Amino acid sequence: MSKEKGSILVVDDNVDLLKTLSLILQRSGYQVDMAEDGLSAVDKSKSHCFDVILMDIVMPRMNGVEAFREIRRINPGARVILMTAYYEDQLVKQVLHEGVHSALCKPIDIGWVVETIRGITSSPPILLVDDDADFCRTMARTLELEGHRVCVAHSGEEALELARRMVCQVALIDVKLPLMGGLETYIKLKEINPGIMTIMMTAYRDEVQDIVDQAMLASATACLYKPLDPTEVVGLVSHIGAQ
């Protein structure tokens, strides 16, 4: 399967529905993994950045809402579609405001599910690389509200692993990262995807200026200095993404 098509995690304690949805999505060209409860979904999300998570709400061990919140802590850019027989439930309305992509009312319209997932996965994700979890949550949400798909990595090693599994058009990389620095991460990302367009980020304007200069010489698109102006970030990402 090509990296562009996307990876889906389907989560439901109804094994028959779980297998049916997974088979349909596999036949539509997606890479599909399955989980039978929210806790298993969280565990799988720790080792894989899924393009879309399709998840039931009412499940044993950990329900879909609790799992959604845990998954978003792991990957603030995670795209989650919840399935429920109780669409008017106040909890559903609340998590829609927290970042759930959409909520489907059971019985599921399979055609609508496939079209929704196709829409989510049709554009390349933005790769956000920063070891500050709070910053990642805020920035991922800002970009999501503008319609962008975001994958988050908290280290250079995580970023490279994600880049090997999916094609990212734009990357935002913090200069100071643990173990593998931002410059080395950028250069290795270029080896995996020569066409990736990269924005470096730093809160240390003077201290890392030589590293920023090296990144710009290596064809980084720009460097932004923290604290970032969300409007400037969104505008720059949209501009270079359209090139």
**What are the structure tokens assigned to 222, written together?**
């720009």
174 shares its domain with 231: yes
Residues sharing a CB contact under 8 Å with residue 208, sequence separation 6 or more, in sequence order: 175, 176, 202
146 shares its domain with 230: yes
The count of domains in the chain is 2
pLDDT band at 243 (very low <50, low <70, confident <90, very high): low
116 shares its domain with 58: yes
Tell me the pLDDT tens digit for each residue of 64-109: 999 999 998 888 878 899 998 775 567 777 787 788 888 888 888 8
Say whether pLDDT at 217 is over 50: yes
Identify whether 145 is part of a domain.
Answer: yes
**SS3 assignment for 70-130:** HHHHHCCCCCEEEEECCCCCHHHHHHHHHCCCEEEECCCCHHHHHHHHHHHHCCCCEEEEC
56 shares its domain with 98: yes
**What are the structure tokens assigned to 10, written together?**
């389907």
Largest CA distance in the chain: 59
134 shares its domain with 85: no
Taking the C-alpha atoms of residue 55 and residue 126, their distance in angstroms, rounded to an integer, is: 23
Boundaries of domain holding 67: 7-121
Identify whether 134 is part of a domain.
Answer: yes
Q: What is the pTM of this model?
A: 0.68
Tell me the pLDDT tens digit for each residue of 173-207: 999 999 999 999 999 999 998 989 999 999 998 99
Q: What is the CATH number of the domain that holds 168?
A: 3.40.50.2300
**Residue ranges with strand state E in 135-220:** 150-153, 170-174, 197-202
Residue for token pair 């094994």 = 15
Chain-centre distance of CA 54, in angstroms? 14
114 shares its domain with 186: no
67 shares its domain with 26: yes
Among 121, 144, 170, the domain-final residue is 121
34 shares its domain with 70: yes
Continuous segment of H or E residues that includes residue 5? none
41 shares its domain with 88: yes
Identify whether 1 is part of a domain.
Answer: no
Among 74, 103, 121, the domain-final residue is 121
47 shares its domain with 142: no
Taking the C-alpha atoms of residue 149 and residue 3, their distance in angstroms, rounded to an integer, is: 15
Q: Quick check: 52 and 17 in contact, CB under 8 A?
A: no
Number of other residues whose CB lies within 10 A of the CB of residue 198: 25
pLDDT band at 214 (very low <50, low <70, confident <90, very high): very high
Tell me the pLDDT tens digit for each residue of 116-167: 888 888 778 899 999 999 999 999 989 988 888 888 999 999 999 888 877 7
Q: Quick check: 133 and 158 in contact, CB under 8 A?
A: no
Classify the phi-psi angles of 197: left when phi > 0, otherwise alpha if psi is within -120 to 50, otherwise beta: beta
Residue 206 backbone phi and psi in degrees, to 5 = -85, -40
Among 121, 155, 189, the domain-final residue is 121
Average pLDDT over the chain reads: 89
173 shares its domain with 114: no
147 shares its domain with 229: yes
**What are the structure tokens assigned to 110, written together?**
């399979």
Taking the C-alpha atoms of residue 35 and residue 57, their distance in angstroms, rounded to an integer, is: 13
Confidence (pLDDT) at 215: 95
Identify whether 178 is part of a domain.
Answer: yes
Identify whether 16 is part of a domain.
Answer: yes
